[in-house]
Each structure stands twice: as structure tokens, then as C-alpha cells.
Amino acid sequence: MADKEKDTLAEAEVKEVKEEKQETSKKDQVEKKIRKQIEKKQEKEAHGGISRIGEYLKEEHKWESYLFIVIALITLLLGCLILNGSLEVKNSFPLIGDHPTLFAWILVGLSSLGLLYAVWPFFKPAFPEFKKITWLTWPKFLGNLARTFIFMLIFVGLLYLYDAFMSEIFVLIFS
């Protein structure tokens, strides 16, 4: 009996030793993961300029976005005025005077990209909402489309009759 108890005690001790080894190996793994995370964080801090700029650009700054939208619209308008010929660039103006059309197209392109970049944060929250929408079936859509066009035709007809009636009244009054 004593031998059996010694064997079970020995087996229990072996199990405890194995469990302790497993726990220490798990602790080592966790420590390695933590060290890797710390190293990554230190690398990010070492290259702080790039990640900080990226982080700043990812943040939403509403008033800056509004200002950027206004500036992009003004530059887009200036580019369009130069292309239209309403705004003239003197030939003596350095660099731009030689190629005003090219400058205008570059201005329009960059300001369009800037406008899209500035407006994106306002539309970004709408996209997950689109996934929640249940769209109409094709027959219901066509029925609603037909009703809408019929209403528009009736409304246009009424406006046309009103215009004709008022035109006749004005002719009688002013003649």
C-alpha cells in the first residue's frame, strides 16, 4: 500500500512540476509579446514625425475642414476663371505667365482633390448606414417612379397654365 501511495505522490509531484513548467512557459510567452509591443512602440516614437503626422491627419478637425473647403473652392474658382478666360495672367508673371492654361488645369486638379479630401469626413459616417437600408423591389420602384413623373407632368401643366393666364393679364394691363 505504501508503494502505491508513494507512486501516486510521485505522479502528483510530476504533474505539479509539469504544470509549473507550462505556467512558466506561458508567462515567458506573455513577456515576449509585451516586449515586442514595447519595442514596436519605441520604434514608432523613434520615427515620431511620420506616425504623428499620420495620426493628426486621421483625426477629425471640423473647423479646419471648413476652412480647407473654402480654400479649395476659391482655388477651384480661380482655376476655372483662368480656363474660361475671365481672369487673365500676364505673360511677365514668373513661371505661370508662360503656361497659364497648364497652371489652371493643375490648380483645378489639386483643388478638386483637396475638396474631396476635405468633404470626405462629412460623408464617411453615411456609408455604414447605407448597408442598413432595405431597398424597394423593382415593381414598387417602377410604380413610385411612374407616380412621380405623373405628378411632375401635372405640376408643369399647372405652371404653364398659370404662366399663360398671367401673361394674358399683363398684356391687357400694359397695353
Instruction: List the alpha helices (DSSP H) in 47-99.
Output: 48-58, 62-84
73 CB-side CA count, 13 A: 8
- For residues 97 and 14, give the distance between their C-alpha atoms in angstroms, rounded to a whole number: 88
Per-residue confidence (pLDDT) for residue 36, from 0 to 100: 86
Percent of the chain with pLDDT over 70: 83
For the chain, strand residue ranges (E) read: none
Q: For the segment 84-120, what is each residue's pLDDT rounded down to a tens digit?
A: 988 888 888 887 888 889 999 999 999 999 999 888 8
Q: How many DSSP H helices and E strands does the chain contain?
A: 6, 0
Which of 26-35, 51-60, 124-133 bottoms out in mean pLDDT, i.e. has the lowest? 51-60
Tell me which residue of 36, 35, 33, 52 sits closest to 44, measured CA to CA. Answer: 52
* Residue 13 reports pLDDT greater than 80: no
Element (H or E) spanning 59, and its range?
none
With 0.75 as the threshold, say if the pTM is over it. no
Per-residue confidence (pLDDT) for residue 54, from 0 to 100: 66
Domain ranges of the chain: 2-51, 67-127, 134-174
Contact 111, 119 (CB under 8 A): no
Place 153 in a pLDDT band, splitting at 50, 70 and 90: very high
